[in-house]
Structure 1
Amino acid sequence: MDKIRIIGGNRLNGVIPISGAKNAALPLMIASLLTDETLTLENVPRLADVRQLTNILVNHGVDYGVNGKRIGEDLLTGQTISLTARSITDTTAPYELVSTMRASFWVIGPLLARMHACKVSLPGGCAIGTRPVDLFLMGLERLGAQLDVEGGYVVAKAPGGLVGNRVVFPKVSVGATHVIMMAATLAKGQTVIENAAREPEIVDLAKCLIAMGAHIQGAGTSTITIDGVDRLRGARHRVVADRIETGTYAMAVAMTGGDVLLEGAEGSLLENPLDVLRQVGAEITETNSGIRVRRNGHGIVAADVTTDPFPGFPTDLQAQFMALMTRAKGTSHITETIFENRFMHVAELARFGARISLSGQVATVEGVESLKGAPVMATDLRASVSLVIAGLAAEGETTVNRVYHLDRGFERLEEKISRCGADISRISG
């Protein structure tokens, strides 16, 4: 099993290209099931999750192609893929595939909308909590689906097709908003989603669906209106920049010092975390090329954050911010409101000498003068990169184990930051 080895203490200077957003690419790929024409996606990150979703879509009969490498192309930039679901050959999403990746459950929306029947395995729990699918099922039932749970599978039917309706989510869910928005594009009549997620990835999916012929208004607000159409066509769409990767590397620069241009980053996608970084002592400048990050000469100071749905502070940056706060001057409080069990990185950060105490949903971090390198173990995707950030600033050697978590969500991380001066390498095991 691969490991990441880091010798800490180097500043980061240079350019880091920001990849397309994994959290946008996955629902966009699933949207290919809605049409029998080709959907071409540009700027798709080269990630384990993308490869796994490809296998799942192929299982349903989707033809998949990747554009060949072009002259002068940098492998740190995204790829272009084409997906064609000319015929859906299998409407069952089996447990052995869905269990490897929660987002694959989202195929239930397009399959039900287009084929009027499907059988999809329940995804089960995961390391950061149960993340139930009750909101998905409630929304589909509102659109007229008949749902039964049998042997760990959701058996869904919509004789005659889905029918538009009012769907009110009791709490914000990005996944459920994705699924109901996709399903409603082919439903008869109008669907109104209230208390919808507002994340940029929702907006990006809506833009793609509109290019495919869908009628959608209000994406990016809490109320989304979809007027169903008879069919969708193919389209070409560029995946939005990854705001979580952007915030992660911005925090790495704030942690280590230096001066880095995050090429292709869009500040409008993460205004809240950038404001927090300015508050703690980073200099953030938005340019035509991306976002430039530098740390001022006074070091990092403590700040309190609470995770919230967009446009609040993202839960997917909570672990990285905690790593940054371990070296801040003062005491910070980090409150996690989105997912349960999302403080598992605390024990691993403590191995560096960090001082962190937990009380329910709140982590209290007392900044220390220095961290010491240590062997650590990743517990999930975002936790794993928080350990990399700590290792970049720690004295001596750090070894991060279970880096397959990193490969799920960060494209060629060690290559990107080693180009900026980090002493980091992958050890194949």
Structure 2
Amino acid sequence: MDQLRIVGGNRLSGAVSIAGAKNAALPQIAASLLSPVPLELTNLPRVSDVENMLRIVQTYGVQVTREGHSTTLDTASLEVREVDYDTVRRMRASILVLAPLLVRFGKARVSLPGGCAIGARPVDMHLKVLSALGADVSIDGGYIMADAKGGLKGARIVLQGPSVGATETAMMAATGASGETEILNAAREPEVVDLAACLSAMGAKIEGAGTHRILIQGPAEWRAASHHGIPDRVEAGTYAAAVTIAGGQLELVNARLEHLASVFQVLESVGTTIWPSDRGIVISGPDKLAPMDLTTEPYPGFPTDLQAQFMAIACRAEGASLFRETIFENRFMHVPELKRLGADITLTGSSALVRGGKPLRGAPVMATDLRASVCLVLAGLAAEGETIVNRVYHLDRGYERLDRKLAQCGVEIERISQ
């Protein structure tokens, strides 16, 4: 397993190109299974989660052609096959192929997915969505089985919470259902809006994406399409956090202000300066950091995928910061590793109190999940001496060339292959 070696104390400068959004790319790759004609996706990030999703659809017979920043998915020879558990266990998003396969073949059998161990993240909302549209759904022997013998039929779907994954499953399934489907309490994330844009380019009729009520008229009349994915707001937020904790100034090329309003509100409250540029956003880190009061919420609230990175910032802030995690119950697994670097953090249930202002000192640390791993990298930027981050395969799931991008900005960082 590779390691990252980081020597702290260097300010950041230069520009970072923000890659396409991993969490937008995964459902779009799955959506290619809906249509018998090709889908071209541009701006796919080169991360292991995307590579795994491409391997999954290839198992079903999808022909994947890559030329530069363009990836074409041709599903003309799609077949009902089984994807081995070793592939799907690597990420939660593998469940997103369930609805497209059901639409395409009238039945589907998909292994229960894996992913980061940050909480239960049950699949029941996905299954209820398909049941509401007329499918018979069951779980047996670690597999989800769905059958829509009479075809899917439009319905009113009321989600018990604004789940991004369940909203995406509902949208994709509804494109193959006869009649109108209304999705209420839908997730509003930019990735959901981007999936709607991709499905619309493919021939679906969708209204209301980005609100709590989405309407879809089915079945879609599919056509060959091309879609350019949105930039990764979590990657942009991570580099904004990096320059905040380490100091200096970075331009985040391709980043969008409108996707990061709640994130930048917190950054400005601690002293970071932010302004738009011709190519994206410029972030200037402060010399002194104020503490923060942060609660994770569904979009447009503060994203849970940036909570760990901002806790690293709080370790450097002067004073006490309070974090409340409302999305995933196990998303404080980075706390013991931050403590190894000298952080003063007290956990009480779903809250964490960070007493900042104490020096961080480099040490060997272990990544436990995707966002926790990058949190430790950021803490290493501000720590005295050398920090070794182990299990960086977690990082590679969602960050494209993180070590190279940071090195180009002045960070002393190297990847060590074991």
Instruction: Extract structure 1 runs of 4+ deviating beyond 4 A.
Output: none
For residues 399 and 142 of structure 1, what CA distance do their matches in structure 2 show? 49
For residues 220 and 210 of structure 1, what CA distance do their matches in structure 2 show? 14
For residues 333 and 225 of structure 2, what CA distance do their matches in structure 1 show? 41
Q: Does 1:309 align with 2:290?
A: no
Deviations 1:350-403 (A, max 9, x none): 011000000000000000232101110000000000000000111100000000
Contact 1:186-1:231 at 8 Å conserved across structures? no
Q: Does 1:156 align with 2:146?
A: yes
Contact 1:37-1:233 at 8 Å conserved across structures? yes
Q: Hey, what does 1:72 align to over in structure 2?
A: none
Contact 2:167-2:186 at 8 Å conserved across structures? yes
Matches within 5 A, 1:77-156: 79-123=69-113, 126-156=116-146
Return 5+ residue gaps in structure 1 as ranges.
Answer: 69-78
For residues 63 and 171 of structure 2, what CA distance do their matches in structure 1 show? 24
Deviations 1:127-182 (A, max 9, x none): 11121000000010000001122212111110132100000011111001011101
Shift in Å, 1:193: 0.4
For residues 115 and 393 of structure 2, what CA distance do their matches in structure 1 show? 18
Give the counterpart letter for 1:37 in structure 2.
V
Give the counterpart letter for 2:336 in structure 1.
A
Shift in Å, 1:272: 0.2
Which residue of the other structure, out of 399, 412, 415, is the alignment partner of 1:410?
399
Partner SS state of residue 44, structure 1: coil
Q: Does 1:397 align with 2:396?
A: no
For residues 139 and 171 of structure 1, what CA distance do their matches in structure 2 show? 12
Shift in Å, 1:87: 2.6
Partner SS state of residue 409, structure 1: coil
Q: Does 1:62 align with 2:52?
A: no
Contact 2:373-2:394 at 8 Å conserved across structures? yes
Matches within 5 A, 1:7-406: 7-68=7-68, 79-123=69-113, 126-297=116-287, 299-406=288-395
For residues 20 and 126 of structure 1, what CA distance do their matches in structure 2 show? 21
For residues 50 and 193 of structure 2, what CA distance do their matches in structure 1 show? 20
Give the counterpart letter for 2:340 in structure 1.
R
Contact 1:354-1:368 at 8 Å conserved across structures? no
Shift in Å, 1:8: 0.4
For residues 307 and 325 of structure 2, what CA distance do their matches in structure 1 show? 8
Partner SS state of residue 326, structure 1: helix
Contact 1:92-1:118 at 8 Å conserved across structures? no
For residues 249 and 324 of structure 1, what CA distance do their matches in structure 2 show? 12
Partner SS state of residue 245, structure 1: helix
Contact 2:343-2:358 at 8 Å conserved across structures? no
Give the counterpart letter for 2:100 in structure 1.
P
Give the counterpart letter for 1:359 in structure 2.
T
Shift in Å, 1:124: 5.2
Partner SS state of residue 129, structure 2: helix
Contact 2:12-2:249 at 8 Å conserved across structures? yes
- State how many pairs are aligned: 418
Deviations 1:324-349 (A, max 9, x none): 00000110100000001110000000
Partner SS state of residue 397, structure 2: helix
Contact 1:94-1:120 at 8 Å conserved across structures? no
Contact 1:93-1:119 at 8 Å conserved across structures? no
RMSD: 1.1
For residues 195 and 59 of structure 1, what CA distance do their matches in structure 2 show? 34
Contact 2:116-2:370 at 8 Å conserved across structures? no
Give the counterpart letter for 1:295 in structure 2.
G
Partner SS state of residue 316, structure 2: coil
Give the counterpart letter for 1:182 in structure 2.
M
For residues 319 and 146 of structure 2, what CA distance do their matches in structure 1 show? 53
For residues 96 and 118 of structure 1, what CA distance do their matches in structure 2 show? 19
Partner SS state of residue 386, structure 1: helix
In the superposition, relative to structure 1, how do residues 264 and 124 fare at CA in structure 2: closer, same or farther (>3 Å)? closer
Shift in Å, 1:107: 0.5
For residues 127 and 149 of structure 1, what CA distance do their matches in structure 2 show? 21
